[in-house]
């Protein structure tokens, strides 16, 4: 099968290419090639990974919607007009919001995105879903934080934090956060490509984990004797006022229930979270050397 991939040079794209040697991969660089100068006519499936994600220095709202909604829709429309049968849009769990409370999110949960990234992705989902028909299958993947070999962003920052400091306030954090190992995500893509289905699908590891579990596993693999201590409610409240998003990611819940997606696709994540963490840290230690 010939799979055309936008955003192929990114974290997800490079791992997908290396994990699926049975496919013929065609990389589509939307930064340097205008859509009108490109053809999808030979594609069995278009995997749209190109996106503007959260920018540390910020980005205009218009830029998020131009790239994540307008460009995604134009790509899907061109693919449909040129006879492509299957289009996969990589979306995000942030279309639901930032945190869960007593109830986990599933495919039917109400969407309430809080930032421009989540809002632009939700708009793209709605616009592209309207293109779906009997001849054009649209699959949408909503993913939580992805980790694994070549990881960047928040997960890499956490690893470096644990490596640098001998004591950290991450003891007894009993939250629930869903994450997905990159090889579980690429396996989900493969299953969906081989068995095209229209709809929204959630990606995740088999079960959520706590922040304490994550940091302890990282510390152990790094062979760091990090002392974890409990942060009392006063200091937690204080830091949450100053760093609300960072505190929420570490102490808050973000739990998704992907059981319906897995059942519909006859899919079971092939790797455990511990395997994923170990693989990520083996890569990290190799890079340091």
Confidence at 240, pLDDT banded by 50, 70, 90: low
Res. 95: pLDDT tops 90: yes
pLDDT of residue 60: 87
For residue 142, give the DSSP letter: E
For the stretch 206-218, pLDDT in tens is 999 999 999 999 9
What gap in Å lies between CA 100 and CA 105, rounded to an integer? 7
Contact 263, 107 (CB under 8 A): no
Res. 229: pLDDT tops 80: yes
Mean of pLDDT values over 139-167: 93
Name the more confident of 221 and 249.
Answer: 221
Percentage of residues of the chain with pLDDT beyond 70: 93
The two structure tokens encoding residue 87: 């289009």
Provide the greatest CA pair distance for the chain.
Answer: 60
Helix H or strand E segment including 64 = helix 61-65
For the stretch 258-282, pLDDT in tens is 999 999 999 999 999 999 999 999 9
Contacts of 278 (CB under 8 A, 6+ apart): 221
Contact 68, 52 (CB under 8 A): yes
The domain locations on the chain are: 2-148+179-207+257-270
Packing angle of the helix pair 273-288, 153-164 (nearest 10 deg): 70
Strand, helix or coil at 26? Answer: strand
pLDDT of residue 237: 64
CA distances from 129 to 36, 72, 86, 124, 260 (A): 22, 11, 12, 8, 19
pTM of the model: 0.93
* Residue positions counted in the chain: 289
CA distances from 124 to 40, 88, 146, 177 (A): 20, 12, 20, 25
For the stretch 54-94, pLDDT in tens is 665 568 899 999 999 999 999 999 999 999 999 999 999 99
pLDDT of residue 234: 64
Taking the CB of residue 129, how many other CB atoms lie within 10 A of it? 15
Contact 17, 209 (CB under 8 A): no
What gap in Å lies between CA 257 and CA 236, rounded to an integer? 28
- Transcribe 194-260 into DSSP letters: HS---EEEE---SS-B-HHHHHHHHHHHHT--PEE-PPPHHHHHHHHHHSHHHHHHHHSBB-B--HH
CATH topology of domain 2-148+179-207+257-270: Rossmann fold (3.40.50)
Q: Which of 9, 85, 99 has the alpha carbon at shortest distance from 41?
A: 85
The two structure tokens encoding residue 217: 């596993």
Res. 21: pLDDT tops 80: yes
* Angle (CA) 83 140 12, round 5°: 95
Taking the CB of residue 200, how many other CB atoms lie within 10 A of it? 19
pLDDT of residue 238: 58
The two structure tokens encoding residue 138: 């649209």
Packing angle of the helix pair 72-81, 116-129 (nearest 10 deg): 20
């Amino acid at each position: 099968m010939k799979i055309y991939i936008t955003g192929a040079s990114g974290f997800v794209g490079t791992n997908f290419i290396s994990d699926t040697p049975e496919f013929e991969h065609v990389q589509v660089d939307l930064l340097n090639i205008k859509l009108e100068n490109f053809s999808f006519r030979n594609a069995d499936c278009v995997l749209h990974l190109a996106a503007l994600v959260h920018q540390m220095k910020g980005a205009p709202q218009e830029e998020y919607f131009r790239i994540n909604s307008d460009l995604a829709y134009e790509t899907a429309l061109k693919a449909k007009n040129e006879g492509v049968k299957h289009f996969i849009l990589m979306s995000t769990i942030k279309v639901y919001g930032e945190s869960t409370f007593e109830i986990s999110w599933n495919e039917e949960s109400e969407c309430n995105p809080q930032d421009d990234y989540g809002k632009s992705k939700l708009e793209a989902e709605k616009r592209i879903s309207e293109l779906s028909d009997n001849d054009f299958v649209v699959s949408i993947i909503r993913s939580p934080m992805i980790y694994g070999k070549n990881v960047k962003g928040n997960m890499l920052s956490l690893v470096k934090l644990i490596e640098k400091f001998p004591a950290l306030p991450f003891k007894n954090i009993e939250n629930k956060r869903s994450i997905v190992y990159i090889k579980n995500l690429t396996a989900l893509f493969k299953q969906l490509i081989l068995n095209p289905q229209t709809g929204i699908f959630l990606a995740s590891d088999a079960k959520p984990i706590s922040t304490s579990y994550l940091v302890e596993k990282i510390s152990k693999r790094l062979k760091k004797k990090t002392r974890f201590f409990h942060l009392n409610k006063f200091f937690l409240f204080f830091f949450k006022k100053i760093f609300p998003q960072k505190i929420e990611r570490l102490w808050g819940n973000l739990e998704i229930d992907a059981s319906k997606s897995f059942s519909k696709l006859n899919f079971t994540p092939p790797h455990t979270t511990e395997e994923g963490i170990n693989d990520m840290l083996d890569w990290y230690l190799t890079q340091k050397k």
